Amino acid sequence: MPARDQLINSQGQPAYGLFPEGVREINYLDYDLRSVMDRKRSSLAKKLGFNQFEFVSFLSKELIVGLAVVDLKLVSNAFLYLYEPETGKFEEFSFLQPLGMGTQIEPRPNDGSASFIKGGNRFLIHASTTPGVRRVQVSLARGVEIDATIDESTAYDPLLICTRAGYQGWVFTQKSAARICNGSIRWHEREFDLQSIGALAAVDWTGGYMRRETFWNWGSLSCRLRDGRRLGFNLAAGVNETGHSENALWLDDKLIKIDMVDFMFDRYHPTHSWAMRSSDGIIDLHFEPSGRRQDKTNALFIASNFSQYFGRYHGEIRLPDETITLEGEWGLSEDHFARW
């Protein structure tokens, strides 16, 4: 089936559900946004109320990298962290801009760009349907350079969903994991070739009129199994579960949908392990944190209590024709409260 051209229809309403054929444009300014008392909101309100972010990870046994561009209109943010499992070396960088200055996220998940510029620090994530790559470029004044490509050509099958969020809102998200990537990361005196270290990438493109106050838990994995197959998953709870969930796994390039996932962890003991189990019995995993990137912001109108952990997954993924055992593969988890 051909990709859907736009998410919002001629009546100003989004299409809800799963989109295996893809969506070209998230035309949010065409949405008939109203107050909870049904009063039409202005074009400015529609623009300011739309939150967007794009997150990319590169995972391997030698290096773990997470980076994002976030546009909340009143403030924008970009961050990058790097962790070397063998040595325990960790470094993070975070930048804020008032009123979204120097920040742009185009509303096209597969042929648009997300960019952030502040001083000598630049982030660019650019997707192109021809030849089907997503390029990630980061240049930081403090000695970090990334120039990488993520393969989104052959057998690319991301998860795309749109769900309701509160009384008047909605959220669209497109996610993929265990994607082949190439390029290099320079971290001060060290340079890592992504192909040589066996890194795999995951991408999360999200935008919508989210709940004024929300939270989510999240888990992500991108690894190679002993038989050479690529395994990735995206697991979440708390944000996009109104009718559909964003839970899925990829075995090589095959997308397999997963039902609701329960996250069990102790928020106030960050070194304790997490349990993640799905209601359909596919996921039965434990996650052991090795460290985290944490950020707490409590401003007048916005607040964020963000903890993204990097660590190792153990347990079983039970599919109809096989059971896959994880024995310490590196991945991510997250506990996040937000008030937009």
- Which has the minimum average pLDDT: 65-69, 155-159, 285-289? 155-159
Residue 340: closest CA among 161, 169, 94: 169
Angle at 260 between CA 258 and CA 262, to 5 degrees: 120
CA angle 324, 327, 328 (to 5 degrees): 130
> Hey, what are 160's tokens?
């795309």
d(CA 183, CA 145): 11
Q: What is the dihedral of CA 282, 288, 291, 294, to 10 degrees?
A: 50
Domains and CATH numbers, the chain: 4-339 (2.40.370.10)
Distance from C-alpha of 164 to C-alpha of 159, rounded to nearest angstrom: 17
pLDDT on residue 223? 98
283-298 vs 303-319, strand pairing mode: antiparallel
Position 1 pLDDT exceeds 70: no
**Cut 0.95: pTM above it:** yes
Distances (CA, A) of 177 to 70, 103, 168, 201: 20, 25, 30, 6
**Residue 2, pLDDT score:** 74
pLDDT at 239: 81
| Confidence band for 297, pLDDT divided at 50, 70 and 90 | confident
pLDDT tier at 299, thresholds 50, 70, 90: confident
Structure tokens at 163: 């769900």
